[in-house]
Amino acid sequence: MPQSSSRGWQRPSIYDVARRAGVSHMTVSRVLNGHPNIREATRSRVLQAIEEMNYTPSSIARALATRRARRIGVLIDGPVQNGPNNTLRALEDAARHVGYAVSAFSIGDDDSSQMDSGVVELVTQGIDALCVIAPRKSSLDLLRQQSTGLPTIVIKAEADASWHTVGVDQRAGARLAVDHLIGLGHRTIAHLAGPQDWFDALERAQGWRESLAEAGLAEGPHVIGEWTSDFGYEYGRSADLGDTTAVFAANDQIALGVVHGLSVRGLRVPDDISVIGFDDLADARHFLPPLTTVRQDFAALGELALQQLIAAIEGDLEPTHDMIEPNLVIRESTKALDRE
């Protein structure tokens, strides 16, 4: 065990391990890094010393030895909503399992100019790669003007010649939602969209359009707002619904507000109007009524993003693009349209 003194327990160093094993500290380093040209007897002696001393390599020392910090910088573009937050957590979990740490920087709402300062802050921490979550077009335009020299991945559903990209197929998710409503007999389907500078909002709106067009239906009301329950509530409370019998909300928060707003004016979901969301919030099954929505597999997204980043760190620099398919979760906020 490591020696104790009046200053208390001290973590053993690589030099302590070397003395215990009777080798040089460089030999210990080679064993730790899996160097092939080490005699098996020497390797066993070093590993035994490591176990006896409960030695854990310092991340700083490892970074100096490998010229890598084993740290990924993450830029979260805009306010942290459910999707971006879950993507960050999934990436952190996946990174932790392979010995990487994550440093995050959140860009303020409607302030894409912070992209510069966010990149600078992360780069000064010695990151090995950069990940951008929930990007807005304006922010990516700024990022294109920078040259960090770091492997970079952007979480978005569209391929991009500048970076690695990975995302959940937002357009396919929207089509799952709208096709479900069409299958229930709805013909006038409103879409409450997120901010139009967000790639996800644009893709979900496009999926709504495509499903209606393929079914030979005219576009219903298309209302652009924020990713908030307040936006949905104001629509549900005061909108002129006309022939609208169903609402596709761009996320679950908007859907929650719609249900609340409709109830204030005496309309029931789904008896009077069906409502469907996107994301599958952890509490979506506890809404009143439980919300039909589109589920994104954030765990798979985080793992796939990390795999691409590590491949890029190790030299695979040609931009790649991968997509994860979403799933429809049917609950009680949608029903077949009554035909009288």
69 pLDDT above the threshold of 70? no
Q: Tell how many helices (H) and how many strands (E) occur in the chain.
A: 12, 14
pLDDT band of 141, cuts 50, 70, 90: confident
What distances in angstroms separate CA 7 from CA 10, 32, 110, 215, one per listed residue?
Answer: 8, 28, 51, 76
pLDDT band at 8 (very low <50, low <70, confident <90, very high): very low
Residues written for the chain: 340
| Residue-range domain boundaries for the chain | 4-66, 71-168+298-326, 170-296
C-alpha span between 336 and 216 (Å, rounded): 19
What is the rounded CA–CA span in Å between residue 178 and residue 293? 11
pLDDT tens-digit profile of 147-187?
Answer: 677 888 999 888 888 889 999 999 999 999 999 999 999 99
Q: 86: which 2 tokens? A: 């879950």
Per mean pLDDT, which range of 103-107, 147-151, 230-234, 297-301 is the poorest?
A: 147-151
Q: Distance between CA 17 and CA 27 in Å, rounded?
A: 10
CATH of domain 170-296: 3.40.50.2300
CATH of domain 4-66: 1.10.260.40
- Which residues contact residue 10 at a Cβ distance below 8 angstroms, ignoring those fewer than 6 apart? 2, 3, 4
* Both structure tokens of 56: 């854990």
2 pLDDT higher than 80: no
Determine the distance from the C-alpha atom of residue 227 to the mean position of all C-alpha atoms in its chain, rounded to a whole number.
16
Region 4-10 average pLDDT: 42
Residue 219, classed as helix, strand or coil, is: coil
Tokens 């971006």, located at residue: 84
Structure-token match 């619904």, residue found: 241
Q: Which CATH class is domain 71-168+298-326?
A: alpha beta
Per-chain mean pLDDT for the chain: 85
Residue 287 has pLDDT above 50, yes or no: yes
Tell me the C-alpha distance between 206 and 199, whole Å: 11
Better-predicted residue by pLDDT, 30 or 241: 241
Percent of the chain with pLDDT over 70: 87
Q: What is the pLDDT of residue 303?
A: 87
Do the first three CATH levels of 71-168+298-326 and 170-296 match, i.e. the same topology? yes
| Mean pLDDT to the nearest integer, 14-33 | 81
Contacts of 173 (CB under 8 A, 6+ apart): 204, 207, 278, 294, 296, 326
pLDDT at 112: 54
Amino acid making up residue 56:
T
